[in-house]
Chain A
């Protein structure tokens, strides 16, 4: 039997699953409200709003749980970039552009010490500690529209917060699509998808 490493502990898998479900709910309901139209089939506006609000609150709780989990367990170290992280970027990019087609070995194979390749590390850092908190903060501000200043500079205050929320949500959706696709770039197509469900990935030598 192939040797395996336990890469994703239970709490990380649970957090990831909840995060994924909530993000899908938020993206679908958010898009539905943004492009609301009486003539085309859309989610009912009031239903979309209720689900969007509930999922947004739940996502915030999940985000705080994630940050707390990373603070108290060793999982957080995977998100701390080093000089080597930046040095490794060209090799990882080259792999995605060339090596992956030639069946070349992964330049940064999984190990207990290194869960993410350099591109993963930096993008996850940006997503988890910058974009997702940004989405949560802008979303929470929009919960209290009457407290938002009427003008921010020459713009409507509400517009500034709402557009920031939309843009961050959009960037995260773009990340999610690429993230799901790159999940297929393990040694076999299903290896990494199975890994995030079971916690185990095959050990590479």
Chain B
């Protein structure tokens, strides 16, 4: 595996070095047929070039991943998607964005355990569209993209369900214990609760039975969202702890987002009020005793 990864690295280096000449021309040739305007959907042969250009993968061109059978034209177009193996580039100490740990987490996840070895990265991530959370235009967009990946399978009509709407209803029914579920689903990713709490993994997806059910896991000062979703939020936005600078942030989460200034002012004013009451009461008692 390591040898392969290194080979890929060499290939990547060569391609990158030769990018202006060969890869760009080659990519342009691919887009002569494969250009699309819509979202980059899995399995689609139409690729939105503008969206692809924003991804880290754009620098690699097309044929680094679509290698076999695609170099010449007309190509056979029979290469199965499963042959595209992300581990070839993303494994090993020298790999760009080494993801060894993530691969192990996926292997241990309910996804891999239930589907066997067939559970590829591309089942959830679209490499033509992929942006790391830190490069997403907003947290809300990151949440939407992540949850859409889950819903692509988990809100698809299963046996006995006539439509995807039925599947969506069935999914909602499993989450009725969460108040305002839709709002929750817009404010956090499925993986926040469906992976172990307060760890920065979002790939070790557990069975539904093991999902977080304690509200305080998120709704508290040491919210698990710190180690998951908001890990990616720029550090300067949360220098006073988890989103304490509520004013500059985009969200409010009871228990987790607090205005420290307001809280400490409240507690102090309360303390002062109680002290004054105590003093007033003591003075009344003393004066009453003196009078009698």
Show the binding face of A for B, using Cβ within 8 Å: 33-39, 42, 45-46, 49, 96, 100-103, 145-146, 155-156, 158-159, 162-163, 166-167, 170, 173-174, 177-178, 181, 184
Q: Tell me the bound Cα distance from A37 to B170 in angstroms.
A: 32
B21 within 8 A of A: no
Which segment of B57-65, B152-160, B200-208, B257-265 sits at the interface? B257-265
Q: How many B residues are at the interface, by size bracket?
A: 35 or more
B107 within 8 A of A: no
In the bound complex, residues from chain A placing their C-beta under 8 Å from that of B53 are: none
Q: What string of 1s and 0s marks CB contacts (under 8 Å) between B271-292 and chain A?
A: 0011001001101100110010
Q: How far is the CB of A185 from chain B (nearest CB, A)?
A: 8
Given contacts A37-B216, A42-B216, A163-B262, 14 further A-B contacts (CB under 8 A): A33-B254, A34-B254, A34-B255, A37-B255, A101-B283, A146-B182, A146-B183, A155-B247, A156-B249, A159-B249, A163-B246, A177-B274, A178-B273, A181-B277
A-B complex: 4 closest residue pairs judged by Cβ atoms: A36-B255, A45-B215, A159-B252, A158-B252
A and B contact pairs by CB, cutoff 8 A, 13 listed: A33-B254, A37-B220, A39-B222, A45-B214, A45-B215, A45-B219, A46-B215, A49-B215, A102-B287, A158-B251, A159-B251, A163-B252, A174-B273
B38 within 8 A of A: no
Of the residues A49, A155, A166, A167, contact of B179 by C-beta under 8 Å: A49
B236 within 8 A of A: no
Q: Tell me the bound Cα distance from A44 to B43 in angstroms.
A: 46
When C-beta atoms are compared, the residue in chain A nearest to B221 turns out to be: A37
The interface residues of chain B, by DSSP majority, are classed as helix
Of the residues A34, A38, A174, contact of B269 by C-beta under 8 Å: A174
Q: Tell me the bound Cα distance from A33 to B284 in angstroms.
A: 37
Of the residues A162, A170, A178, A181, contact of B266 by C-beta under 8 Å: A170
The interface residues of chain A, by DSSP majority, are classed as helix
B217 within 8 A of A: yes
Of the residues B215, B246, B262, B281, contact of A184 by C-beta under 8 Å: B281
Show the binding face of B for A, using Cβ within 8 Å: 179-180, 182-183, 186, 214-217, 219-222, 246-247, 249-252, 254-255, 257-259, 262, 266, 269-270, 273-274, 277, 280-281, 283-284, 287-288, 291
Contact A38 B182 (CB under 8 A): no
Contact B251 A145 (CB under 8 A): no
In the bound complex, residues from chain A placing their C-beta under 8 Å from that of B273 are: 174, 177-178
Known: A146-B180, A146-B183. A162 touches B252 (CB 8 A): yes
Q: Tell me the bound Cα distance from A45 to B221 in angstroms.
A: 14
Q: How far is the CB of A9 from chain B (nearest CB, A)?
A: 29
Known: A34-B258, A35-B255. A145 touches B250 (CB 8 A): no
Q: Tell me the bound Cα distance from A198 to B257 in angstroms.
A: 45
In the bound complex, residues from chain B placing their C-beta under 8 Å from that of A181 are: 277, 280-281
Q: Tell me the bound Cα distance from A34 to B277 in angstroms.
A: 26
In the bound complex, residues from chain B placing their C-beta under 8 Å from that of A177 are: 270, 273-274, 277
In the bound complex, residues from chain A placing their C-beta under 8 Å from that of B277 are: 177-178, 181
When C-beta atoms are compared, the residue in chain B nearest to A169 turns out to be: B266
Q: Tell me the bound Cα distance from A173 to B220 in angstroms.
A: 22
Of the residues B222, B252, B281, contact of A38 by C-beta under 8 Å: B222
When C-beta atoms are compared, the residue in chain B nearest to A167 turns out to be: B262
Of the residues A36, A103, A167, A174, contact of B254 by C-beta under 8 Å: A36
Of the residues A36, A102, A167, contact of B220 by C-beta under 8 Å: A36
When C-beta atoms are compared, the residue in chain B nearest to A39 turns out to be: B222
Contact B251 A36 (CB under 8 A): no
Q: Tell me the bound Cα distance from A159 to B245 in angstroms.
A: 11
Q: Tell me the bound Cα distance from A38 to B222 in angstroms.
A: 8
When C-beta atoms are compared, the residue in chain B nearest to A101 turns out to be: B287
Q: Tell me the bound Cα distance from A33 to B216 in angstroms.
A: 9
In the bound complex, residues from chain A placing their C-beta under 8 Å from that of B280 are: 96, 181
Q: How far is the CB of B260 from chain A (nearest CB, A)?
A: 12
When C-beta atoms are compared, the residue in chain A nearest to B256 turns out to be: A36
Q: How far is the CB of B92 from chain A (nearest CB, A)?
A: 38
Q: Tell me the bound Cα distance from A163 to B246 in angstroms.
A: 10
Contact B274 A38 (CB under 8 A): no
Q: Tell me the bound Cα distance from A146 to B257 in angstroms.
A: 18
In the bound complex, residues from chain B placing their C-beta under 8 Å from that of A162 are: 252, 254
In the bound complex, residues from chain A placing their C-beta under 8 Å from that of B249 are: 156, 159
Q: Tell me the bound Cα distance from A159 to B258 in angstroms.
A: 10
In the bound complex, residues from chain B placing their C-beta under 8 Å from that of A163 are: 246, 252, 259, 262
Known: A37-B216, A38-B217. A45 touches B179 (CB 8 A): no
